[in-house]
């Protein structure tokens, strides 16, 4: 892989959980990425990072909390989420504007290295310990995200795990004939966003979570089929799909699209921030002839929240979610909207227009007008930093 600066952004308000996150991702050679940005949510005591990792790693750490953000901006920005995972958008902004990251990866504090993320060749080796597989998954985590963004094959099979007639033959990295084209897609098939998946506990809404909850109070362990994560697959730009923000990588060029709408404190909605960001981003990316990929790498999701609590948080947004994507889909992007930032400004302008007659959900109608201002405020951070409008 070419040298690129990779920043990982994690939001947390759980000191103990975050300490485990650091312990599991920080190996003998440090973290598998270049820069770690912690956005501490809530106004409580600032996490003490001393003692969590080596002195050498401290130079590659950035720690934000409510106080530090308010100091930099004069106050907490209106567009920024509070007491919600969407606050990690501050880390996205910081990564690309102040730290010049080429690729940003979003991780949740309960997402840990997974043996399934190791290269398949590791699983075929005899005498390999599970701990070695987990270490291989940890070190290969960033590489798999980068491979998905910069090296998606131009050809794919029409049937998962089966090679039909007509697939071109190429030469793989080991010099063997392989029915896959190895030419990377950089410049020909832009894939600026890749979503990895999860093992142990899948990312599901509370209604479906409750079907995976045993009477004893434990999750049934979920192991995705290999076809799901063996390769990253390109998603159709003609369809929408749920974008999860717990294992997500994107190229800096589309950073303006990565706005997680304000939710949590002082908002009627929760737990749809990454989903609604995904709807807006996919709308804009389709207009810009960009595509997304989903699959590798995989992480262990050790979910900290409870299904019944999530049901309460999600309830106001369940109905709104049925309508939100249709509102965004109805927005007309113009030929002049030829950059991610221009697309987002257009989204803000369209939401600002009188769409009240088109939005049936009362809470969503009021929220949409606020969202217009928030998207505008988010976009101004980029234009102020010199990004092309």
Q: For the chain, what is the largest distance between any 2 Cα atoms, rounded to a whole number of angstroms?
A: 65
Count of CB atoms situated within 10 Å of the CB of 219:
16
Taking the chain, what is the end-to-end CA distance rounded to the nearest angstrom? 31
List the alpha helices (DSSP H) in 117-185. Answer: 120-124, 130-150
Locus of tokens 């063997």:
176
Give me the residue label for tokens 């099979």: 157
d(CA 76, CA 108): 22
How many other C-beta atoms can be found within 10 angstroms of the C-beta atom of residue 214?
8
| Geometric angle at alpha carbon 103, from 244 and 243, rounded to 5° | 15
Tens-digit pLDDT profile for residues 317-360:
999 999 999 999 999 999 999 999 999 999 999 988 756 567 88
Are β-strands 103-108 and 247-251 bridged in parallel, bridged antiparallel, or unpaired?
A: antiparallel
Which residues share a beta bridge with 63? 38
pLDDT at position 199: 87
Query: Which residues make beta-bridge pairs with 62?
Result: 37
Low-confidence ranges of the chain (pLDDT < 70): 1-2, 51, 53-57, 118-130, 170-188, 217-218, 304, 354-357
CA angle, corner 150, sides to 146 and 151, nearest 5? 100
Please report the pLDDT score of residue 294 as a whole number. Answer: 95
Architecture per CATH, 6-152+189-384: Alpha-Beta Complex (3.90)
pLDDT at 136: 81
Is beta strand 233-234 parallel, antiparallel or unpaired with respect to 61-64?
unpaired
**What DSSP element (H or E) covers 374?**
helix 362-384
């Amino acid at each position: 892989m070419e040298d690129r600066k990779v920043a990982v952004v994690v939001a947390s308000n759980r000191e103990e959980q975050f300490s485990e996150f650091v312990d599991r991702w920080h190996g003998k050679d440090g973290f598998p990425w270049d820069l770690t940005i912690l956005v501490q949510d809530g106004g409580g005591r600032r996490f003490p990072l001393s003692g969590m990792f080596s002195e050498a790693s401290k130079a590659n750490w950035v720690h934000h909390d409510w106080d530090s953000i308010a100091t930099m901006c004069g106050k907490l920005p209106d567009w920024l989420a509070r007491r919600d995972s969407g606050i990690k958008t501050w880390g996205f902004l910081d990564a690309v504007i102040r730290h010049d990251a080429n690729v940003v990866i979003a991780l949740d504090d309960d997402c840990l290295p997974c043996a399934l993320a190791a290269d398949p060749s590791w699983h075929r080796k005899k005498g390999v310990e599970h701990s070695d597989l987990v270490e291989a998954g940890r070190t290969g985590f960033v590489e798999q995200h980068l491979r998905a963004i910069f090296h998606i094959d131009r050809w794919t099979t029409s049937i998962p795990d089966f090679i039909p007639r007509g697939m071109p033959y190429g030469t793989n990295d080991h010099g063997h004939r392989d029915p896959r084209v190895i030419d990377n897609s950089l410049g020909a098939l832009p894939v600026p966003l890749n979503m990895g998946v999860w093992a142990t506990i899948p990312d599901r809404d509370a209604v479906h979570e409750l079907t995976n909850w045993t009477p004893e109070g434990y999750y049934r362990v979920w192991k995705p089929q290999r076809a799901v994560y063996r390769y990253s697959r390109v998603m159709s730009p003609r369809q929408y799909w749920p974008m999860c923000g717990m294992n997500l990588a994107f190229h800096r060029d589309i950073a303006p699209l990565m706005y997680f709408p304000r939710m949590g404190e002082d908002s009627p909605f929760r737990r749809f921030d990454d989903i609604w960001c995904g709807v807006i981003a996919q709308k804009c990316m389709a207009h810009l002839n960009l595509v997304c990929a989903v699959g590798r790498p995989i992480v262990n999701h050790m979910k900290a929240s409870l299904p019944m609590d999530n049901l309460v948080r999600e309830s106001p947004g369940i109905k709104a979610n049925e309508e939100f994507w249709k509102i965004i889909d109805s927005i007309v992007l113009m030929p002049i909207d030829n950059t991610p930032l221009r697309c987002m400004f257009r989204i803000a302008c369209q939401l600002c227009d009188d769409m009240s007659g088109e939005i049936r959900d009362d809470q969503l109608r009021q929220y949409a007008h606020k969202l217009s201002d928030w998207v505008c405020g988010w976009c101004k951070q980029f234009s102020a930093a010199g990004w092309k409008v």
